[in-house]
Structure 1
């Protein structure tokens, strides 16, 4: 008898490769954002999509506060059309980053989610700005 893990067969290697490569087009992680911000040319705009109150209580260094409800074509006019936006919210228990990513994509903007959000950032041991 197989374990609960193996009761559903794993995808083929080709399918797994396609799936995991595609995921990297939709998301990045806290360590990559930290490294890019501190050791490379920052070629993206990091958006904290939580409320201004939550942002003021602590946010990822260099992040701009743009709550999802405020994302609009007008607010994005200062950014070239090919600007990559990386969005985050409170953490895995929050879908605010997903909602913001949908809105940015609807506006034709490149977007990735920083998986883990603020919780992931803190779990990695990275500091916050206030």
Structure 2
């Protein structure tokens, strides 16, 4: 699993860690039952404090995406994969609704950029 954080992102680092792992799960890079690197290994790879990484991992545990097991480490929870196809369906619905309301794709992209 290769995680990268965006240095221009203004969100707290633990949220960025959680988001990167969420995306890896959604993209199928991490599958249910698969073991993640230790918090210490992730912190070294990301050049972050281990407590920052742990905070992001705990957030995912609380969401039900990860399981912490003594002696087994951190694994992706069964049924955790939120398939990317589900997001694609929602994006298609959004594009269709925008079109129905008279907005172009460019207009929609501009609206999304304004939210960032």
TM-score normalised by L of structure 2: 0.29
More helix by share: 2
RCO comparison, higher one (Cα < 8 Å, 6+): 1
More strand by share: 1
